[in-house]
């Protein structure tokens, strides 16, 4: 498989590159449902024909509501919830319930944000994409441009119904998904991309946190 891009995670069966994390497979134009493990599908720039841009290395110093219970997501990702103390398990279950509630109650707006992001990428609208990022993050000035330049020409897309929830530091990150068809070198192929967002003040924003942000860990998958 080849990963085209490491902030909006893109996976396709196009070359023999082994990647970890959640596998968003496109095979024979039938795309498997996204699953949340860890968004670390990040080959070296040499194995990607797009940019090596992988999102920010360190999570921005932001505090989301709900705030991830400290260190628990990493424990669960490593060995499951069986080793948690009663207090940790209660905090983890509460966090699962709160993040699922946000996705379900604000699913239409989430879809709209994913749709808007893909449209901006498809049309090359850097200003529109740049305006979608959370205001409490210091996003590099060329971030949106690098996001857009990473893609070949997108023909069609369809927003998916699965949302991957992840946490890093005090941030909760929600990955929305879209299946796209793009043309590269005259070849049209199908791919699934993941678009990272945060929920701030009852609004969905894109985030600079990406697949290579240090410490990012899986929380759960939620169906819209």
Q: For the chain, first and last CA: distance in Å? A: 28
pLDDT tens digits, 44-89: 222 223 333 467 889 999 999 999 999 999 899 888 999 999 999 9
Kindly report which listed range (6-20, 48-62, 102-116, 190-204) carries the lowest average pLDDT score. Answer: 6-20
Question: What is the rounded distance in angstroms from the CA atom of residue 117 to the CA atom of residue 14?
Answer: 24
Q: Where are the domains of the chain?
A: 2-223
What's the pLDDT at 37? 52
Question: What is the rounded distance in angstroms from the CA atom of residue 159 to the CA atom of residue 176?
Answer: 8
How far is CA 167 from each of CA 40, 66, 127, rounded to the nearest angstrom?
A: 13, 10, 28
Q: Which residues contact 112 (CB under 8 A, 6 or more apart)?
A: 204
* 212 confidence band (pLDDT: 50, 70, 90): confident
Per-residue DSSP letter, 69: P
The upper half-sphere exposure of residue 193, i.e. CA atoms within 13 Å in the direction of its Cβ, equals: 30
- Which range is most confident: 34-43, 52-61, 96-105? 96-105
Contact predicate 52/6, CB 8 Å: yes
**Does the pTM exceed 0.75?**
yes
């Amino acid at each position: 498989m080849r990963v085209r891009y490491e902030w909006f995670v893109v996976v396709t069966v196009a070359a023999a590159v082994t990647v970890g994390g959640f596998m968003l497979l496109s095979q024979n134009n039938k795309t498997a449902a996204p699953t949340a493990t860890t968004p670390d599908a990040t080959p070296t720039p040499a194995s990607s024909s797009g940019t090596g841009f992988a999102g920010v290395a360190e999570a921005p110093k932001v505090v989301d509501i709900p705030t991830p219970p400290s260190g628990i997501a990493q424990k669960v990702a490593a060995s499951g919830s069986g080793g948690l103390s009663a207090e940790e398990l209660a905090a983890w279950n509460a966090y699962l319930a709160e993040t699922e509630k946000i996705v379900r109650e604000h699913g239409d707006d989430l879809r709209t944000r994913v749709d808007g992001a893909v449209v901006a990428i498809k049309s090359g609208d850097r200003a529109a994409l740049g305006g979608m990022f959370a205001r409490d993050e210091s996003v590099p000035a060329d971030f949106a441009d690098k996001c857009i330049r990473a893609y070949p020409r997108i023909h069609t897309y369809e927003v998916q119904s699965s949302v991957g929830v992840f946490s890093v530091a005090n941030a909760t990150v929600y990955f929305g998904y879209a299946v796209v068809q793009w043309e590269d070198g005259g070849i049209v192929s199908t791919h699934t991309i993941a678009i990272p967002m945060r929920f701030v003040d009852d609004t969905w924003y894109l985030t600079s946190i990406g697949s290579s942000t240090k410490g990012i860990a899986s929380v759960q998958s939620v169906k819209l």
